[in-house]
Amino acid sequence: MKVLFIGDIVGQPGRRAVKELVIRLREAQGLHFVIANGENAAGGSGITPKTAEEIFAAGVDVITSGDHLWDQREVIDLLHQERRFLRPLNYPPGTPGRGSVVVRKEGLPPVAILNLQGRTFMADLDNPFHAARAEVERLRQETKVIIVDFHAEATSEKIALARMLDGRVSAVVGTHTHVLTADEQIFPGGTAYLTDAGFTGPHDSVLGRDIAPVIQRFVTNMPQRFEVAKDRVLLQGVTVEIDETSGKAVQVRRVTETLL
């Protein structure tokens, strides 16, 4: 089976890219399952039920998130009502929502998606390494096809978690930095890895935001309003081909598609 993982969707331009390009990619590349990180989908910060529904309607099967989870207050409804929307698993017990899901589609093995958040240079959540070990073992009782979105800042933290899970999951894909990395590989145990899936949105920008206010912030250290940029919209991410019987990755490729 072939899975597409889409890097962080940023604002309306990112949602438009998903809407127009996912259907083409499904047909051209024979995709069976699509995952997208949507934590910046609503105005460039956070996600709402309305923007999530727009992404699902475009052909995305599961939406993951990260440190901007709480930026839109409407997200609480999404967490309570939508099982296809994930928040990082390593929030404390009692936090609304879920950190993993197993999706069953006709003609495919069950597909498990696990969402985790790093702690280096980020909020001090529960240890993602401990959370990952326990949850992966639970998920493997249902399926061997498991994809992990590790939303983290530090490259070393991402690599270490993926190495720990090598042979236990199909893929570990990093998100958060919005920079598509060139280190896609398959580890010895059969786990595909990419440090960061980049972002889906306007790339004539600073990580999806208008350039001038970001420069001004660095120059003056004064607060600025960071609007979502508009131009050179790309869809970025990675495709992983997975052996349905073993759950091991057999191919991994970066994806960059231009919205014309």
Domain ranges of the chain: 2-258
**Cα–Cα dist 256/258, whole Å:** 7
**Is residue 4 a contact partner of residue 256, using CB atoms and an 8 Å limit?**
no
Average pLDDT, rounded, for the chain: 97
130 carries an active-site annotation: no
From the candidates 68, 151, 176, 178, give the one annotated as an active-site residue: 68
pLDDT confidence tier of residue 134, bands split at 50, 70 and 90 = very high
Of residues 195, 125, 113, the one with CA closest to residue 162:
195
Strand partners, 40: 10
- CATH topology assigned to domain 2-258: Purple Acid Phosphatase; chain A, domain 2 (3.60.21)
* Percentage, residues of the chain above pLDDT 70: 100
pTM as predicted: 0.96
**Is residue 249 a contact partner of residue 242, using CB atoms and an 8 Å limit?**
yes
For the segment 87-108, what is each residue's pLDDT rounded down to a tens digit? 999 999 999 999 999 999 999 9
pLDDT, position 26? 94
pLDDT, position 201? 98
For residue 220, report the phi and psi dihedrals to the nearest 5 degrees. -105, -20
pLDDT, position 22? 98
For the segment 146-203, what is each residue's pLDDT rounded down to a tens digit? 999 999 999 999 999 999 999 999 999 999 999 999 999 999 999 999 999 999 999 9
| CA distances for 37 relative to 83, 87, 120, 223, angstroms | 15, 10, 20, 27
pLDDT confidence tier of residue 216, bands split at 50, 70 and 90 = very high
pLDDT confidence tier of residue 242, bands split at 50, 70 and 90 = very high
The residues near 132 (Cβ < 8 Å, ≥ 6 apart) are 89, 114, 116, 148, 161, 164, 165
pLDDT, position 176? 98
pLDDT, position 71? 96
pLDDT, position 52? 98
237: left (phi over 0), alpha (psi -120 to 50) or beta: left
